[in-house]
Structures are given as structure tokens and as C-alpha cells.
Amino acid sequence: MEKSVVEVEVKNVLATSAGSAVFIGNDEKVFVIYVDHAVGSAINMFLHGTPKPRPQTHDLFGDVLTALGARVERTVINDFTDTVYFARLIIVAENELEERKIIEIDARPSDSIALAVQGEAPIFVASHVWEAVEDMSIVLKKMEENGEGTDFPDV
């Protein structure tokens, strides 16, 4: 039986001239999603536990979820068209007012990835997307070896 999703993780986030390249994958394959500098920087800060002088948008959203008794359960990158990826953010809410509630929200993959990394939630890719993406493992390795794209502007 074939799985409908593949679990992945953020392997690295590298600054580029036009934004940030978020490399996600597993031991089998790595692919890249390009995002704007601000989201790339946020993902990088969450990955490395970098303190921020002031809360950013993803911090605000995470704090609101916590205040409402909710958390990001997982993110699923579920589709793509040309170079545009689509994702679903799965949130679980449990509080004194309601029983357990599962909420699925259409969201940009960049925001979904940032919130998943922030909340230490798993990231999945739909199998049909996983099979179609180009393996960028060698590109990532070369960029890391050359020290390319590691400087992020202040947010």
C-alpha cells in the first residue's frame, strides 16, 4: 500500500538575491521552495532558536493559537501548479469551551513551514507532489560547501 504523504523536514534555508530558498526533504530527496526574505528569515530563526528583539507575525500567530488552546499539528504541502506550491495547515484546538477540534486551513507553504518549525510539528508532502519535484540534494550540498546564501538580512 502506497502512502499518500511523505514526511520531510527543513534541511536548510539559504538567502538568495530574490528571497530565500527553503530546502525540504528527507534522506531520499530534497527539493526547494522559494519564499520571500522575511519568511525565510523567520524559518531560519525558528530552526536555530534565534531570539528576536520583537515578536514577528509568525510569533503572533503562534501566541494566539496557544492562547486559544490550539497548536499546529502538521503541515501538508498538497499540490503545485507550475512553480506555485499549495499547503494545508492542520490545527488542533482543545480548551475548556470545546472538545477537541481539528481545523484545516489553506495557507502558503512558506507560512505553513514556518509555523510547523516554530511549533515542532511534522511537515508532509503529498505523494504526487513528492514524485514530481526535482531532487536538489546535490545543489544544496554544493551551496553549503561553498558557504553560499547563509547571511540573512535583519527582519
Sequence-distant (6+) residues with CB within 8 A of 69 are 93, 94, 95, 96
Give the CA-trace dihedral at 155, 91, 66, 47, to 10 degrees: -40
pLDDT band at 149 (very low <50, low <70, confident <90, very high): low
Kindly list the structural domains of the chain, giving each domain's residue range(s) and its CATH number in brackets, ordered by start.
5-145 (3.10.690.10)
C-alpha cell at 143: 551551496
Mean pLDDT confidence for 77-106? 90
Mean pLDDT confidence for 90-96? 87
What pTM value is reported for the model?
A: 0.87
Selection from 43-52, 84-93, 134-143 with the highest mean pLDDT: 84-93
Sequence-distant (6+) residues with CB within 8 A of 38 are 56, 155
Pairwise CA distance, residues 109 & 106, whole Å:
9
Q: What is the pLDDT of residue 98?
A: 67
Q: What is the pLDDT of residue 154?
A: 45
Q: Bigger pLDDT: 151 or 21?
A: 21
* Maximal CA-CA distance, the chain: 53
Pairwise CA distance, residues 12 & 77, whole Å:
17
Q: What is the pLDDT of residue 68?
A: 87
CB 35 within 8 A of CB 152: no
Mean pLDDT confidence for 61-69? 90
